[in-house]
Amino acid sequence: MECELIATGHYAQSLQHADGCWAVRKGLDETKDQSYVLWGLEQKNLARTRFPIGHFRKSAIRQMAMDSGFPELAQKSESYEICFIPDNDYRGFLKRKEPEATAKLAQGKLVSTSGEALGEHDGYPFFTIGQRKGLGIATGEPMYVTDIQPESNTVVLGRKSDLNRTSLWVRKPNFQLVEALVGEMEATVKIRYKDKGTPGTLKMDGERVQVEFHAPWQASHPGRAPSSMMAMMCSAAGSSIGHRP
């Protein structure tokens, strides 16, 4: 489009350091912060991207809209889900978009962490790690999705404590402030959007980043970014590390 710059409505900020490198920063309004979802941006993208509302609170943006004569925008309800699925019916969306593929996944297996058969499900894409509701079975106690095995269309259910992990690995990291991670780095690690973060130690493990949590932490779904679904906001250096799913 031959544009020099692009501005987005993300509640996030960017900062250019003395060496010329750009990095994503949290938005001022931490309750709306969207820096997590920007983990994959590279230098060529960040250099030409601006986040004009990142240093405002959403309440201030709503007031600006009202003052500018846009009451419908100012009073628009909050949205916490994917914008192109307005009814939040992900299962219905997948079935409409991929009817043949989803039909083939019917009658998948629900099993316990010990391998005991618990029931059947409509397909592994309809589940996520940590899910508790909509499992389709009653066991007399709360059960959570602890593992998803696409190869066999199997969903594993267990107790909440079964979600705890002490480490994880991040594939294809995207470093925004350094070319590579040398040695170990102490960091605050996010593994999901609303996660407040937990202390951990980062180090390279071949081409992956290994994260050792300082205390057990609830599991992340494979393929999800840690501080962005996995970008890590490193408190020591203020840098961001992410991975491509």
Is the pLDDT reported for residue 243 higher than 90? no
Q: What is the mean pLDDT of residues 189-204?
A: 85
Q: Which CATH class is domain 90-158?
A: mainly beta
Question: Residue 44 and residue 82: Cα distance in Å, rounded?
Answer: 26
Mind giving me the DSSP string for 30-92?
TTT--GGGGTT--HHHHTTEE-TTTTS-HHHHHHHHHHTT-HHHHTPPP--S-TT-TT--HHH
**pLDDT recorded at residue 62:** 95
In the chain, where are the structural domains located? 1-78+163-245, 90-158
**pLDDT recorded at residue 233:** 36
Q: What is the mean pLDDT of residues 120-128?
A: 92
Most confident stretch, 7-11, 139-143, 213-217: 7-11
Question: Residue 80 and residue 35: Cα distance in Å, rounded?
Answer: 15
Q: What is the mean pLDDT of residues 130-134?
A: 88
**pLDDT recorded at residue 154:** 96
Q: What angle do CA 146, 149, 153 make, to 5 degrees?
A: 120
Q: Which CATH number fits domain 1-78+163-245: 2.60.120.10, 3.55.50.30, 3.40.50.300, 2.40.30.10?
A: 2.40.30.10
**pLDDT recorded at residue 158:** 93
Is the pLDDT reported for residue 161 higher than 80? yes
What is the rounded average pLDDT for all residues in the chain? 84
pLDDT in tens, 39-66: 889 899 999 999 999 999 999 999 999 9
**pLDDT recorded at residue 222:** 63
Question: Residue 95 and residue 123: Cα distance in Å, rounded?
Answer: 10
**pLDDT recorded at residue 153:** 95
